[in-house]
C-alpha cells in the first residue's frame, strides 16, 4: 500500500508543511481569541435579560448553530465585497471562524456561570463584597475551572475548522497538501502528512484537557 511512498519529495516539501502548521496555529489562535471575546460578550448580553439584547444574542447563536461554517465562510467571502467591505482572505476567514466559534463559546461560558449556585453569590453579597470582588473571588475561579475542558474541546473543533479556510485560498496546513497534490501529483504523501500534523495539534489539546479534568476531580475530592 505504502511501498510507493515518496519520502524524498516529502522531505523537500517539509518547510512548506511547517509553514502550513505555523499558519494553522496562528489562525486558530487569533480565531480563539476572537471567539472567546465574542462568546463572553454574547454570554453577558444574554444573562443581562435586557429583552432586545437577549433576543439578538439568541438569534445570533441559533443562526450560527443551524448553518454550516462553509456557508458562513462563503457568505462573508462573496457577500462582504458587495457591501463595499474589502477584507483580505485571511481577515475574512478569521472573521468567519470567530463568529462561528463565538456562538458555541457563549453557550459553554453560560453553562459555566450558571453552574454556580445562587446562594454563593448571595452569601458573597452578604459578606459585603462588591460586584468585581464577587466576580474575582467567587464566580470566576469556579466558572473558569469547569469551562476549561469544554473550551479546549471547542478549540479542537476550531483548529479543524480552520482547514476550510484553504477553500478561499488562505495558505495553511491543508492548502500545503493540496499544493503537493497538484504540483507533484502526490495526494497520498500530502494528505497523510497533513492528517498527522493535525493529529499532533489534536493530541496536545486533548492532553491539556484531560490533565485539567484530572485536576478538577482531584480538587473536588480533596
Partner 1 sequence: MWGYYFQQLTASVPFFLKGLWMTVLVSGSSLIMGTVLGFALGVLRTSRIGPFRFLLALYVDFMRGTPFLVQVFIVFFILPEWGIHLEAFSAAVLSLTAYAAAYICEIVAGGILVVPRGQKEAARASGLTRFQVLRLVVLPQAMRVILPPLVGQYVLLVKDSSVVSVIGLTDITRVGWLTVQRVPEGLMVFGLVGVLYFAVCYPLIRLSNRLEKRMSVQAFRL
Instruction: Give SS3 for 88.
Output: coil
Q: Which is nearer to partner 1, 95 or 124 (CB)?
A: 95
Q: Report if residue 26 touches partner 1, rule: CB under 8 A.
A: no
Instruction: Of 150, 42, 44, 48, give the one whose Cα is nearest residue 103.
Output: 42
Segment interacting with partner 1 (CB under 8 A) among 15-23, 30-38, 58-66, 104-112:
58-66
Q: Which of 78, 127, 133, 183 binds partner 1 (CB under 8 A)?
A: 78
Please pick, from the candidates 160, 179, 208, 212, the single residue that binds partner 1 as defined by CB under 8 A: 160
Residue 49 — φ and ψ, nearest 5°? 70, 25
Among 18, 55, 62, 131, binds partner 1 (CB under 8 A): 62
Q: Does 194 bind partner 1 (CB under 8 A)?
A: yes
Please state the separation of Cα 162 from the chain's center in Å.
9
Residue among 127 and 195 whose Cβ is closer to partner 1: 195
In contact, 65 and 104? CB cutoff 8 Å: yes
Q: How far apart are CA 3 and CA 13, in angstroms?
A: 19
User: Phi and psi (nearest 5°) for 5?
Assistant: -65, 120
- Kindly list the residues in this chain that would bind partner 1 in the complex (CB under 8 A): 1, 62-63, 65-72, 74-75, 77-83, 156, 160-164, 166-167, 174, 177-178, 181, 187-188, 191-192, 194-195, 198-199, 201-203, 206
Amino acid at each position: 500500500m505504502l511501498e510507493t511512498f515518496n519520502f524524498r519529495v516529502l522531505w523537500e516539501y517539509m518547510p512548506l508543511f511547517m509553514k502550513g502548521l505555523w499558519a494553522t496555529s496562528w489562525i486558530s489562535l487569533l480565531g480563539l481569541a476572537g471567539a472567546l471575546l465574542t462568546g463572553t460578550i454574547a454570554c453577558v448580553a444574554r444573562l443581562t435579560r435586557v429583552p432586545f439584547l437577549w433576543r439578538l444574542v439568541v438569534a445570533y447563536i441559533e443562526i450560527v448553530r443551524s448553518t454550516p461554517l462553509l456557508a458562513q465562510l462563503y457568505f462573508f467571502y462573496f457577500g462582504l465585497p458587495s457591501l463595499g467591505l474589502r477584507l483580505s482572505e485571511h481577515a475574512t476567514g478569521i472573521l468567519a471562524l470567530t463568529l462561528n466559534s463565538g456562538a458555541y463559546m457563549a453557550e459553554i461560558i453560560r453553562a459555566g456561570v450558571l453552574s454556580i449556585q445562587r446562594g454563593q453569590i448571595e452569601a458573597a453579597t452578604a459578606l459585603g463584597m462588591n460586584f468585581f470582588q464577587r466576580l474575582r473571588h467567587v464566580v470566576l475561579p469556579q466558572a473558569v475551572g469547569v469551562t476549561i475542558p469544554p473550551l479546549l474541546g471547542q478549540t479542537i473543533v476550531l483548529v479543524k475548522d480552520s482547514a476550510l479556510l484553504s477553500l478561499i485560498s488562505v495558505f495553511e496546513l491543508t492548502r500545503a497538501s493540496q499544493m503537493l497534490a497538484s504540483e507533484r501529483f502526490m495526494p497520498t504523501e500530502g494528505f497523510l502528512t497533513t492528517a498527522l500534523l493535525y493529529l499532533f495539534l489534536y493530541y496536545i489539546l486533548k492532553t491539556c484537557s484531560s490533565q485539567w479534568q484530572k485536576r478538577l476531580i482531584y480538587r473536588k475530592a480533596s
